[in-house]
Amino acid sequence: MSQITAPFDAIASAANALAGVMAQLDKDQTAVTTAQQAVTDATATLTSAQGTLTTDQQAGQTAADTLVTAIAAAGFGINAPSPSNPTPPAPTPPAPSPSAQAGT
């Protein structure tokens, strides 16, 4: 009798193992789908934030331009920074004090 049931036991064991793997695959697919939706949502949020940033930058530039115009209209001069950042000249050392010169 054990000779007849042995092949069926192996088949049942393999079928149970396959069922376990299939259940895990279902869980993995659900996790992948959830992650894909999170990426889609994050991409939409990022796109929206980038649009808001661009709009706010434009508003800031407009406000700065308006301020400069108002200052100039009030008669004040504006020293705009140069577009490049040149290296300032090296400072000159202080002249020696008269007491240091007297000792020579």
Among 25, 49, 29, 27, CA closest to 37: 29
Rounded Cα distance between 68 and 53, Å, is 22
pTM for this entry: 0.51
Highest average pLDDT, of 1-15, 20-34, 68-82, comes from 20-34
Among 67, 89, 87, 86, CA closest to 78: 67
Q: What pLDDT is recorded for position 22? A: 97
Averaged pLDDT for residues 23-30: 97
Q: What pLDDT is recorded for position 1? A: 47
Averaged pLDDT for residues 53-63: 95
Q: What pLDDT is recorded for position 58? A: 95
Q: Is 80's pLDDT higher than 80? A: no
